[in-house]
Amino acid sequence: MHKIVVLGSSFAALTAIKTLRKQGWKEPIVLVAPRPVIFFYPSLIWVPAGLRNEQDLTVELEDFFDRNDVEYHRGKVSGLNQETRQVLLETGDKIHFDSLIIGSGGRFIKKLPGIENIYTPCEGYQATKAYSDQLNKLDSGTLAFGFSANPKEPTAVRGGPIFEFLFGIDTLLRKQKRRDQFKMVFFNPSKSPGQRLGEKAVKSLLKEMDKRGIETHLGHKMKSFTEDKVITEGGEVHSDLTLFMPGMTGPAWANASGLPLSEGGFIQANEHCKVEGFERIYVAGDSGSYPGPDWIPKQAHIADLQAEAVAKNILAEIKGQPITATFKSELVCIVDTLNSGMLIYRDPKRMVLMPKTVMFHWAKRWFEGHYLKAYR
């Protein structure tokens, strides 16, 4: 029997499992993760408005595991033993694998002094809910929003959700008839934030900020945070409440994996999502660093595309066939504003920006239900 072990319960990990079964794989699949759930991070943007809660965004995976004949093993990965082909867990457990799919996600770089004073929404529901609770307590003040990249791997950035929180909270405050009590500021070390989306999209986003009376503090590297300030090399921004998305790096256990890492700390993969030099070890999603255009995003859509390629290549390698599957370099993003949204699409040949409309807001809400249906 050939055992495939999957690390994580992320978009990439679960899509790899679905693809393996669709491709006809009948032998054992073991999934290792701290909890048997998938959490739908993209919809955290609706938590401040009360449109989503933790239960809405968390799907238990027992039924999915049963339908796909997956053995679940609870645990956190601490490293790999290449010689024995074992996944090492913090509990001391060791899980043998014949093939390995790494889909355990990345993590945020939390090195800036005073970063404990800010809220990082994509860390999960609790961080987002804590921010929402603080916002509800304020009668007035200054709200700051920003993001940054990994300086050693500029593509390792997740800025889209910050734009959505920025515009969504502006819309929320207007609905509550208290927008005039708040100053809103967007800060970023780049003079053209969101370049992965394309120049046309950056201009549109900045124009939307200007239209909404949102101030900007651009082109200055962040130095530190305090309870009431964002301190940059170009000056200080007063803030009563700061929402900030740091740059990303690879999983903490990667340093003890013996696998090749990129300069930014991600597991290095080739165009087939294979870790070169290692037999039947693949990576998909935020854990990895991949060749391609410098605008390739860290987002669920690209993770799914990578996971499909991983599953096909693993099966080919098991059969002794050449691995040929690659993933499409593609960015699909709806920047939601709570009551509307703009669609941004990019591939190597084109960049498309479709203007703001309520249709895209409802399309994003429909996609959430459609995506999670496979796991409910």
Tell me: the pLDDT tens digits for 309-329? 999 999 999 999 999 999 999
41, 55, 62, 123, 333 from 52: Cα distances, Å: 11, 8, 22, 16, 20
- The one-letter code for the residue type at 30 is V
- Report the pLDDT averaged over residues 362-371: 96
Burial string for 132-169 (b: 16+ CB within 10 Å, else e) reads beebeeeeeebbbbbbbbbeebebbbbbbbbbbbbbbb
More confident residue, 6 or 157: 6
Q: Residue 240 above 90 pLDDT?
A: yes
Helical H runs in 93-184? 125-137, 160-175
Q: How far apart are CA 114 and CA 194, in angstroms?
A: 25
Q: How far apart are CA 340 and CA 358, in angstroms?
A: 4
Q: What is the pLDDT of residue 126?
A: 96
Q: Tens of pLDDT along 270-303?
A: 999 999 999 999 999 999 999 999 888 889 999 9
Helix axes 11-22, 300-318, angle to 10 degrees: 40
Would you place residue 155 in the very low, low, confident or very high pLDDT band (cuts 50, 70, 90)?
confident
Q: How far apart are CA 175 and CA 49, in angstroms?
A: 10
Q: What is the pLDDT of residue 196?
A: 83
Q: What is the pLDDT of residue 157?
A: 86
Q: How far apart are CA 201 and CA 346, in angstroms?
A: 10
Q: Phi first, then psi: give them for residue 207, nearest 5 degrees.
A: -65, -40
DSSP 153: B
Mean pLDDT for all residues in the chain? 96
How far from the centroid of its chain's Cα atoms is residue 68's Cα? 25
Q: What is the pLDDT of residue 195?
A: 84
- Asked if residues 255 and 157 have their Cβ atoms less than 8 Å apart, the reply is no
Structural domains in the chain, CATH included, are: 4-106+250-318 (3.50.50.60), 110-247 (3.50.50.60)
- The candidate with the shortest Cα–Cα distance to 12, out of 354, 293, 316, 288, is 288
- Asked if residues 39 and 55 have their Cβ atoms less than 8 Å apart, the reply is no
Q: How far apart are CA 304 and CA 97, in angstroms?
A: 22
Q: How far apart are CA 149 and CA 238, in angstroms?
A: 22
- Report the pLDDT averaged over residues 148-173: 93
Which percentage of the chain shows pLDDT scores above 90?
A: 93
- The one-letter code for the residue type at 195 is Q
pTM of the model: 0.95
Sequence-distant (6+) residues with CB within 8 A of 267 are 102, 250, 251, 254, 257, 259, 260, 261, 275, 283, 287, 288, 289
The per-type count for the chain, helices as H runs and strands as E runs, is 8, 24
